[in-house]
Chain A
């Protein structure tokens, strides 16, 4: 008689911020692109440094390194375009990363009670324990109380 232990393997994208590696669920990643011009304009959302144009879309650039490794990235080679889920829709967010990313299959352990909200879970991979990022907690968005108005404002607006 043999027993098979079913493990729930999921796909993750490993990304590098400085010397550290993090993971994001692969289903939340749209693509990995070369850095392009960042367009800046006045705003008050500190985590957003501007927007890039990608496939006709205007995509906010969110530097998550400050919050995760305590400093902004000096050299950035790529943008990981992630799909950020809001109340009723999804939008792209560009995350600057230091280098190439890697697609892996691994089993995720759930976050502990003491973990920060940006931790979606943990992976054990190649001798490292890697934090899986919760993009909804890590990147800015409307607070739940402001969501209805924000949802109304979302999407494409036709010129009047």
Chain B
């Protein structure tokens, strides 16, 4: 006779997140969504310029694995006052690299609450939801919410062919997950 399996207690599922700041505002991102963290200079110094009148938040592009990686200003995306960015998150499964002020800390969240439905504009694309941490509320960003497929098409189309070819792989400084 086999012993009964140990009773499963209702342990909360957790998710590791990175708390970071953009223009002083605190955000969170799932650490599994961040492919690399790099010094902003190391990425932008090797980037080509790109511009589209309706997408001021994207000023640089680098070529990664045959695909352009668009560097998005977190401040302009969220409508925050401009602030110098020290780091870049290269976001997994996207063509987005996000300029940020810096990392606050890594921690875990046990509960992600969907954005209340009273929020009914672009923020529904920006955030996966909200989480309560240390008696504070932090929005958890959606990595795919920085550039829509249509915006990526616009940026792709605005890349000059030679720029697209010349855009290089990036430098060494940074952390790869």
Of the candidates B120, B123, B139, which one forms a contact with A146 in the assembled complex, judged by CB atoms under 8 Å apart? Answer: B120
Q: A86 contacts which chain B residues (CB < 8 A)?
A: 117
**B117:A160 contact, CB within 8 angstroms:** no
Identify the closest chain A residue to B30 (Cβ). Answer: A160
Contact B13 A159 (CB under 8 A): yes
* A142 interface contact, C-beta 8 A: yes
Chain B residues, Cβ within 8 Å of A60: 116, 118-119
A86 to B24 CA separation, bound complex (whole angstroms): 34
Closest to A159 in B: B15
Q: Name B14's closest neighbour in chain A (CB-CB).
A: A159
Chain A, interface size category, equals 35 or more
Specify which of A47, A56, A58, A62 lies most central, judged by the most chain B CB atoms within 10 Å of its CB: A58
B111→A156 contact, CB < 8 A: yes
Tell me if B124 is interfacial: C-beta within 8 Å of chain A. Answer: yes
Q: Are B116 and A58 in contact (CB under 8 A)?
A: yes
B165 close to A (CB within 8 Å): no
A91 and B117: CB pair below 8 A? Answer: yes
**Which residue from A47, A56, A159 sits with its C-beta under 8 Å from B112?**
A159
Complex Cα gap A112–B126 (Å): 40
Residues B93-121 near A (CB distance < 8 A): 109-121
Is the pair B110, A159 in contact by a Cβ cutoff of 8 Å? Answer: yes
Cβ-defined partner of A150 (8 Å) among B14, B78, B124: B124
Would A156 and B112 count as touching, CB distance under 8 A? yes
> Of A84, A140, A157, A160, which one neighbours B113 at CB under 8 angstroms?
A157
**Does A156 lie within 8 Å of B113, measured CB to CB?**
yes
Are A153 and B115 touching (Cβ within 8 A)? yes
Cβ-based interface call for B158 (8 A): no
User: How far does the Cβ of B138 sit from chain A's closest Cβ, in whole Å?
Assistant: 8
Whether A44 contacts B30 by the Cβ 8 Å rule is no
Q: A41: which B residues are within 8 A, CB to CB?
A: 25-27, 137-139
- B122 on the interface (CB 8 Å rule)? yes
Q: Which residues of A contact B114 (CB under 8 A)?
A: 153-157
Residues 132-147 of chain B, each 1 if its beta carbon lies under 8 Å from chain A, else 0: 1001111100000000
B38 at the interface (CB under 8 A from A): no
A 71-84 binary contact with B (CB < 8 Å = 1; else 0): 00000000000001
Is the Cβ of A42 less than 8 Å from the Cβ of B121? no
Separation in Å of the A153 CB from the closest CB of chain B? 5
- B80 contacts A by Cβ under 8 Å: yes
A91 neighbours in B (Cβ, 8 Å): 116-118
Known: A158-B112, A159-B14. 4 other contacts (CB 8 A): A42-B123, A58-B116, A58-B137, A157-B112
Can you list 11 residue pairs at the A/B interface with Cβ under 8 Å?
A42-B126, A48-B119, A51-B130, A53-B135, A91-B118, A140-B120, A142-B117, A143-B120, A157-B128, A159-B30, A159-B109
The 3 closest A-B pairs by CB, nearest first: A159-B15, A44-B121, A42-B78
